[in-house]
Chain A
């Protein structure tokens, strides 16, 4: 295994050429007002049309389709009115990885990846006693008989141990919410735009202690879509592509129920392998990254990813926050759109949109100067995954 370089032959072969999403702000207001603008397929279809328009291509060019987890693939093809000759059902990261392989092997040429989720209007339950067969006592992370029924509980317990081991504090964690609200205040698409201070954060209530309200992601309806094709074809197209230079994945599922080592080692064993894969493949390292997009169902993902991917040493996230910084105001900006905490909870899909826009230089007030490489990472549900986007 030591000589194996997973995915190396895919470096720089594939690009994102179009991104689109639904009107998160208008739909959030409509749903809170008691109406339901669209179902999951409808949100996905809106995003799909916008991604096509953004890419400057016609629907007839699409011959691969990745459907996100909430929407059945067959029905999605019907709703969009396309008959692809390659496709699969996958989340954002695994869908991108699959599309790269499909394009590189000639299974298809132009892939649309679409996601729609009516999670708020449909009152989808990510926690609580009804979630995911929790009373089976061995089902994934849920241990309902003991009242352990939510992802928040998992990350609260992980954070408590991380604080114990490293000296990280609640006020340190507050820096994530503060930075991401600064970013969302500069993002016209973000749901939560009001800037907050560390003291504002500390004044919000605990949900699962020590996690405060502002450590949790939003729950909202919406859709996101991207268009991918070979980098060579993308460079001949109308729009500036975001080329995928590196990608990596490593799972930690053998001891999923006892959460070892994902809880006991904070995903570090997987992140170490993914960092080697993705950075080596891209020929870039942490010092070359202009901004980070980190899957932030909970704010605690940010310090764990900064340490896990080598932006600082283990136990040094708080020091990194202080000495370097994680916002557009100072240092290495993390989640420049506001992320799941403040922009929109599109389960990693909206992070790709932001990565592409940063590479293209389309982010206006929140644009990172001289943006060369964007690193996206996702460390959830037992899988560590990363993408390195560039020019």
Chain B
């Protein structure tokens, strides 16, 4: 089995603070002061109400598995998932440090950052029971 090689993300002006936060172990979510709702991915223009009065909030890092797919044929295999954050939005991620055959929709998960060879920290999730 090979070591996992990640495709390096390309931060934009809108998403740079997200990646800066990730480097510090913080899962930042864009939230709107006008409609009081968080959205995903981070934007400078609220997709829900149109306001530009936005703020970054630090998410709890807790969520639950919305759905997933085990990429059994990849080398190494990995688990893609959509995780619904406690703050509301659903985001694309991977489930790591877990038994792929035991994952179930609705499982509680906790964020865990994985550093790529390019030095970017990617938010992944792991079952909460696995977190000390």
| A residues apposed to B, CB below 8 Å | 129, 134-138, 143-149, 153, 156-158, 160-161, 164, 205-211, 254-255, 257-260, 263-264
Contacts and interface: CB of A to CB of B under 8 A. Distances in A.
Nearest to A136: B10
B69 A160 contact: yes
Contacts of B11: 137
Of B8, B14, B69, B124, chain A has the most CB atoms within 10 Å of the CB of B69
Contact of B69 (A136, A164, A208, A260): A208
A157 B94 contact: no
A165 to B, nearest CB: 9
B122 A258 contact: no
Given A137-B41, A164-B67, A148 B8 contact: no
Contact of B67 (A134, A138, A161, A258): A161
Of A129, A149, A259, chain B has the most CB atoms within 10 Å of the CB of A259
Given A145-B122, A258-B90, A135 B8 contact: yes
Contacts of B120: 145
B82 A263 contact: yes
A143 B78 CA distance: 14
Contacts of A148: 80, 92
Across the A-B interface, give the 9 residue pairs with the lowest CB-CB distance, nearest first.
A161-B67, A156-B69, A144-B7, A143-B92, A145-B9, A138-B41, A164-B105, A157-B67, A209-B70
A207 B69 CA distance: 10
B9 A137 contact: yes
Given A138-B15, A258-B90, A260-B90, A145 B71 contact: no
A263 B66 CA distance: 10
Contacts of B70: 209
B11 to A, nearest CB: 8
Interface in B1-53: 6-12, 14-15, 39-41, 47
B57 interface: no
Given A145-B116, A259-B82, A210 B90 contact: no
Contacts of B89: 258
A258 B93 contact: no
Nearest to B116: A145
B15 A145 contact: no
Interface residues of B, number: 37
A160 B12 contact: no
Contacts, number: 95
B73 interface: yes
Contacts of A134: 7
A138 B47 CA distance: 14
Contact of A136 (B12, B40, B81, B94): B12
12 contacts: A135-B8, A135-B10, A136-B12, A144-B7, A144-B9, A147-B78, A153-B69, A153-B71, A156-B69, A157-B82, A206-B73, A258-B39
A280 to B, nearest CB: 30
Contact of A135 (B9, B14, B72): B9
B98 interface: no
Contact of A157 (B73, B80, B122, B124): B80
Contacts of B86: none
Interface string B57-69: 0000000001111
Nearest to A165: B105
A138 B12 contact: yes
A299 to B, nearest CB: 15
A137 B16 CA distance: 11
A209 B71 contact: yes
B69 A210 contact: yes
B6 A145 contact: yes
A257 B41 CA distance: 7
B80 A160 contact: no
Given A145-B6, A146-B93, A148-B92, 6 more contacts: A137-B11, A137-B41, A144-B7, A148-B80, A258-B90, A263-B82
Nearest to B8: A135
A149 B74 CA distance: 12
A210 B69 CA distance: 7
Of A146, A153, A205, A208, chain B has the most CB atoms within 10 Å of the CB of A146
B66 A264 contact: yes
